[in-house]
Amino acid sequence: MACLRSILSRRITLVALVVFALLSVTPSFAADVTTPFAGKAVNGGTVTHEHRGGKHVLTVSTDFQVPGSPDPHWQVVDSKGTVYLLDRLKLKDDKINRSITLPAHISDVTIPDRVGAFDTAGSTVVFEIVVDDYAEVWVNGNLPIVLGQTGGPLIKGFNAPNRVLLGRNVRPGQQFQLAVFGMNGPVSNPPGNFIWVRSATLDFYQPGHAGRVQPVPTEVIRRDSTLDDIVSAAARIEKLADGFLFTEGPVWIPRTATTDGHLLFSDPNANTIYRWSPDGQVSVFRTKSGYTGVDVGEYGQPGSNGLTLDREGRLTINEHGNRRVTRLEKTGALTVLADRYEGKRLNSPNDLVYRSDGALYFTDPPFGLPKFFDDARKALPFSGVFCLINGELKLVSTDLSGPNGLAFSPDERYLSLLDGTEGQSLGHVLDGRSSSRRAARALLRRRFVWDAPRLAASTGPGPSPA
């Protein structure tokens, strides 16, 4: 254990030392401020931060003492415990360089009028950098952190390229402030050498081309002119990415003040949730997204299926193999919302949708079980449509043999479903206007219509359980 503590202590110290090696432009230094040193790696003495001629200058006091840590001539620690990695802090004959100007390794970026023959106005700009060994990239003082993200502004991999979207529809003269933080690896045993920038480029793309999108020949057969109100006549299909086994459950994560918008989607065959960003990067968001059992090889689709967001923007997941509905908290913890009905395990939750009052509806066919309807693990004698409201799981319907996708009408009076077990996808509707249940023929092939009351007391409009 003593040896392990020693390794971990060394790791933490060295990471702190190297992480600021490539700091460029940053507003974190106060001007003309003198503070005493403190923290885990105490230098002794004081340091003064000054801003001279557009550059940051650190001046250490005459009583500054070099701490007994690895490569002491590479560091200055301020009163907040922040470690600055500095060239030649320690000079010949054990003397100390008292005044150090911090180098700007990457300057602010100003969008030019043209790059060769390319007119930059309205274009999309991506910053790409390859650091030996790892890098994080701040843009305009922000480092967007998205749960499960790799690459982009965060560490991509060993000597791997970081691609960061600077802006869309940029204009000549527009400025971006960049700060790149580099770190040596492997992290568990970092070498004591330099950090190198292998390459750094700005890539300019015409609008819509940054994500390496591929157009797909598109023909929309319009049976009803009202479709024009939903799908533009000029709409075209584009392929964003490929190479997956089976894709399901796409959900768009909106942009926030600290993160860019991105797409999450499931590959239930691969037991994985992927993340696609508008700059064309695809990364693994969550592995073992639907099943963690050791017999995963028996399953055709063990992974997650439907994905959606609740009112607080938290990701809600239908897990096939684990046979449950879960919610991914902002901290990364996983909360189980539903896994049993009347003491029996669910089949394999498929698709899901929230109503505006927070009620969660989901379908539960056995498509995620290895032998589907004939699987011995199947506990429920039906394929249900469920509603989770105020912590209580209620059964809405057992009339469909294989309920699949579902969605609310804009006014939430109707919940439309698909049943795909009868050789074709059939449309069905839950009607929340009356208290009786009836089956009826309708316009598209066959449609079931259930008339049911509102869920008791607190459920609001929409379909209710039987």
Among 81-85, 281-285, 427-431, top mean pLDDT goes to 281-285
* Domain match, 58 and 115 both: no
pLDDT digits (tens, 9 = 90+) for 1-60: 233 222 222 222 222 222 223 322 222 333 345 555 544 455 567 777 776 766 667 777
On whether the CB atoms of residues 17 and 182 are closer than 8 A, the answer is: no
**Residue 449 parent element (H or E):** strand 447-451
* Domain match, 277 and 191 both: no
3 within domain boundaries: no
Task: State how far the Cα of 386 lies from the Cα of 413, in Å rounded to an integer.
Answer: 17
403 within domain boundaries: yes
* Domain match, 344 and 371 both: yes
Tell me the pairing of strands 392-397 and 403-408: unpaired
Token pair recorded at residue 348:
């394999």
* Domain match, 201 and 219 both: no
**DSSP letter string, 232-283:** -TT---EE-----S--EEEEEE---SSS--EEEEEETTTTEEEEE-TTS-EE
pTM listed for this prediction: 0.65
The mean per-residue pLDDT over the stretch 90-113 comes to 66
pLDDT digits (tens, 9 = 90+) for 189-228: 777 666 777 888 888 888 766 666 788 898 888 888 888 8
Per-residue model confidence (pLDDT) at position 22: 31
Number of structural domains (the chain) is: 3
DSSP state of 228: G
Helix (H, G, I), strand (E, B) or coil at 212: coil
Cis peptide bond prior to 186, omega within 30° of 0: yes
463 within domain boundaries: no
8 within domain boundaries: no
Q: What is the mean pLDDT of the chain?
A: 75
* Domain match, 278 and 345 both: yes
Q: Name the least confident of 47-56, 136-145, 151-160.
A: 47-56
On whether the CB atoms of residues 460 and 358 are closer than 8 A, the answer is: no
Look at residues 205, 234, 263 and tell me which one is the last residue of a structural domain.
205
Per-residue model confidence (pLDDT) at position 389: 93
On whether the CB atoms of residues 327 and 317 are closer than 8 A, the answer is: yes
462 within domain boundaries: no
Token pair recorded at residue 322:
């684990």
376 within domain boundaries: yes
Asked if residue 115 has pLDDT above 60, the reply is yes
Asked if residue 242 has pLDDT above 50, the reply is yes
Per-residue model confidence (pLDDT) at position 443: 24
466 within domain boundaries: no
**DSSP letter string, 311-376:** TT--EEEEETTTTEEEEE-TTS-EEEEE-EETTEE-S----EEE-TTS-EEEEE-STTSTTGGG-T
Find the domain containing 446 and state its range. Answer: 214-451
* Domain match, 32 and 125 both: no
Give the confidence band of 404 by pLDDT, cuts at 50, 70, 90: very high
pLDDT digits (tens, 9 = 90+) for 258-284: 677 899 999 999 999 999 988 788 888
Residues in the chain: 466
* Domain match, 329 and 438 both: yes
* Domain match, 30 and 63 both: yes
Half-sphere exposure of 207 (CA within 13 A, CB side): 6
> 4 φ, ψ to 5°?
-65, -45
11 within domain boundaries: no
Look at residues 205, 223, 252 and tell me which one is the last residue of a structural domain.
205
